[in-house]
Amino acid sequence: MKKFDLDLFKKITFIHFLTDYNSNDFIYPPLFIWDNFNEDAKLKNYLEHIKEKNLKIAKNINIYAHFPFCKYKCAFCRQFCFACQDSKLYDEYLELLIKELKMWAGAMEAREKLKIRSIYLGGGTPTNFDLKKFFYAVSEFIDLKNAEQIDIESTLDALLDPQKLTFLKELNLNQKVRLMVGAQSFDEGVLRECNRYPHQRRIYRRVIKNIRKIGIREWGIDLMIGLPGQSKESFIKDLKFLVKERVEIIHVYIFLKTPLTIYGIEKEKIKISARERKGIRESIILAGKILFENNYQHTGGDWISNESRKLLNYQQLHLSFPFKKGGNPLNIPVGPSARGVLPIFCGFDTIIQNTNNLDIYRQKILNNKFAVDWAWKIRNPVLFEKRKGLIRALRYGHFDKKHYIRRYGTDPEKEFPQEFEFLEKILTGLGKFERKGDILKFKENIGGYLVLSKVFYSPKILRKCRAVIEKKYKNLDFDLSFLPHNEDFI
């Protein structure tokens, strides 16, 4: 059997968390090995000819716009955003985002408004910006009414103003919106510990009343597990509160004390104790049980109430790597650190990411240059998607081969025999692998999958990872103690 280097997997995992602000912790390949992007002229030429050369691309466009400021920086946040109270900076960056988006649309030489499939506003806190100005401005050159979905992220306190989102009704966009509100917790002690607005339970009903009055079609609440100062009882109390309120969409995810969070700055704060790991594991299991018993259905990321699902045209448009049969979409990245996809760019599907330096971003946009800094050309999209899908499967600890076979027509264990043999050998020895027919279970595999997912990295990417690590990161202290019960796997 081929030898797999667990030490290399551990280093890749650590450097990913040190260098990549993107929220998808199963990114493949890791950003730190992407190529520098120096093809601005080629990109403009590519966009100019899209409508004439490939109508499938022109009709399948998604936009991700990143708003880089919050009123305060939460201690648990690992996104590319900064605490900012200066309204002038908010206005300046809003103008830059609008200009950048206009550059993308303008480069395509559309004779009419650019038709898009979706637009996602993330951050940061988009609702702290003047979104009315943003939507009215971009509606001059983008056909928002043709979009299937408009996603907006927010915090509860950012929606206290009842006029904040009323423009959506004015533009007849309210029925296209999916609004996700990041509460994370309703425990005042936990919120204060996290440097966050503490009175969320008090304002919850006021905010939800405003949302419903606007007529937003889909809205939900984010909750986190494992926050500083948070007990299992505190999390379950918050979850039961949302279930009782019949919140349509509940998104539950784990807090990781990575090096890009405020808690990661002080090394002693980044470690997770055995007691914390146990609480996280028990919280996840109990949360799933509570939601299932209360008629919520798990969609792979969110929990959707069954009664709401019948009423909502619910869809999750994955904007990071949405490769699919029948033509891949053009994903336009707007704002610092935003990530996108260019189908058949210079002969290959290419994933791209904007600079994560605010000054460089400002200079590029003011000089009418695209803000793209990194790119990765995908030589074999089908194999790329297969490996990425297998990496993601480890995230959930439950892999049904039938779904893979239905999609690709092949048995994954025959395509990747050494990888599966290695996983089974390692995890069986730890008592964490179980096989039932076509279903493979990686039991209690929270955290450790981030290391073992590298089993499905291609040999070429692993070689490049090793070369970059030896050249740039050789003297790092590769401490992965922030991963929940990660020590079981490395």
Question: C-alpha angle with apex 446: 444 to 448, nearest 5 degrees?
Answer: 105
- Evaluate whether 340 touches 352 at the Cβ level (below 8 Å): yes
Range from 73-77, 172-176, 331-335 that averages highest in pLDDT: 331-335
Tell whether 172 and 292 lie within a shared domain: yes
Question: Does residue 307 lie in a domain region?
Answer: yes
Residue 301 CB: number of other CB atoms within 10 A? Answer: 11
Residues 22 and 77 in one domain: no
pTM: 0.91
Distance CA 403, CA 409 (A): 10
| pLDDT at position 122 | 95
- Specify whether the CB–CB gap between 78 and 407 falls below 8 A: no
Once rounded to an integer, what is the mean pLDDT over residues 291-301? Answer: 86
Of 266, 286, 311, the last residue of a domain is: 311
Checking if the pLDDT of 38 tops 60, the result is: yes
15 and 108 in a single domain? The answer is no
**Dihedral over Cα of 165, 171, 175, 177: its sign:** negative
Residue with tokens 């004779």: 111
Q: What percent of the chain has pLDDT over 90?
A: 61
Give yes or no for residue 313 having a pLDDT over 60: no
Asked whether residue 320 carries a pLDDT value surpassing 80, the answer given is: no
Determine contact, residues 239/60, Cβ cutoff 8 Å: no
Which residues are 219's β-sheet partners? Answer: 179
Is 320 within the bounds of a domain?
no
Does residue 266 fall inside a structural domain? yes
Task: State how far the alpha carbon of 160 is from the alpha carbons of 81, 150, 182, 271, in Å.
Answer: 21, 21, 14, 36
Q: Tell me the average pLDDT across 303-317.
A: 61
Q: Are 127 and 167 in contact (CB under 8 A)?
A: no
Residue 443 lies in a domain: yes
196, 224, 242, 356 from 227: Cα distances, Å: 12, 7, 18, 26
CA–CA gap between residue 143 and residue 111 (Å, rounded): 12
Q: How many domains does the chain have?
A: 2
* 17 & 87 share domain: no
Is it the case that residue 71 has pLDDT exceeding 90? yes
- Whether the predicted pLDDT of 312 surpasses 80: no
Answer whether residue 317 is part of any domain. Answer: no
Of the three residues 311, 336, 361, the one that is the final residue of a domain is: 311
| Whole-number pLDDT of residue 447 | 72
* Residue found under tokens 């204060």: 192
Angle CA(186)–CA(192)–CA(194) in degrees, nearest 5?
A: 90
Give me the CATH number covering residue 148: 3.80.30.20
Residue range 425-481, pLDDT digits in tens: 888 887 888 889 999 888 766 677 788 899 999 999 999 999 999 999 988 888 887
Whether 73 and 27 map to the same domain: the answer is no
Q: What are the two backbone dihedrals, phi and then psi, of residue 403, each rounded to the nearest 5 degrees?
A: -65, -40
Shared domain for 80 and 12, answered yes or no, is no
Judged against a pLDDT cut of 60, whether residue 357 lies above it is answered with yes
Is the domain of 129 the same as that of 87?
Answer: yes
Task: For residues 16 and 69, state if they share a domain.
Answer: no
Full domain range(s) for residue 434: 6-32+382-488
203 and 253 in contact (C-beta within 8 Å)? Answer: no
Same domain? For 17 and 76 the reply is no
pLDDT for res 298: 84
Q: Is the pLDDT of residue 263 over 90?
A: no
* Residues 24 and 93 both lie in one domain: no
Mean pLDDT over 73-77 rounds to: 91
Q: At 223, is the pLDDT very low, low, confident or very high (cuts 50, 70, 90)?
A: very high
Last residue of a domain, one of 290, 311, 332: 311
Q: Is 362 domain-assigned?
A: no
- C-alpha to C-alpha distance for 484 and 490, rounded to whole angstroms: 12
Q: What is the pLDDT of residue 267?
A: 53
* Structure confidence at residue 62 (pLDDT): 93
Output 7-12 pairs: Cβ under 8 A, ≥24 positions apart: 8/454, 8/462, 8/465, 8/466, 8/469, 9/451, 9/452, 9/454, 9/455, 9/490, 10/451, 10/478, 10/480, 10/490, 11/465, 11/469, 11/473, 11/476, 11/478, 12/454, 12/457, 12/465, 12/469
Is residue 351, in this structure, part of any structural domain at all? no
The rounded distance, in Å, linking the Cα atoms of 311 and 465 is 47
Q: Are residues 438 and 301 in the same domain?
A: no
Q: Is residue 336 part of a domain?
A: no
In SS3 terms, the chain reads as: CCCCCHHHHHHHHHHHHHHCCCCCCCCCCCHHHCEECCCHHHHHHHHHCHHHHCHHHHCCEEEEEEECEECCCCCCCCCCCEECCCHHHHHHHHHHHHHHHHHHHHHCCCCCCEECCEEEEEECCHHHCCHHHHHHHHCCCEEHHHCCEEEEEECCHHHCCCCCCCHHHHCCCHHHEEEEEEEECCCHHHHHHCCCCCCHHHHHHHHHHHHHHHCCCEEEEEEEECCCCCCHHHHHHHHHHHHHCCCCEEEEEECCCCCCCHHHCCHHHHCCCHHHHHHHHHHHHHHHHHHHHCCEEECCCEEEEHHHHHHCCCCCCCCCCCCCCCCCCEEEEECCCCEEEEEEECCEEEEEEECCCHHHHHHHHHCCCCCEEEEEEECCHHHHHHHHHHHHHHHHCEEEHHHHHHHHCCCHHHHCHHHHHHHHHHHHHCCCEEEECCEEEECCCCCCHHHHHHHHCCHHHHHHHHHHHHHHCCCCCCCCCCCCCHHHCC
Would you state the pLDDT for residue 284?
A: 87
Q: Mean pLDDT for the chain? A: 88
Are residues 75 and 17 part of one domain? no
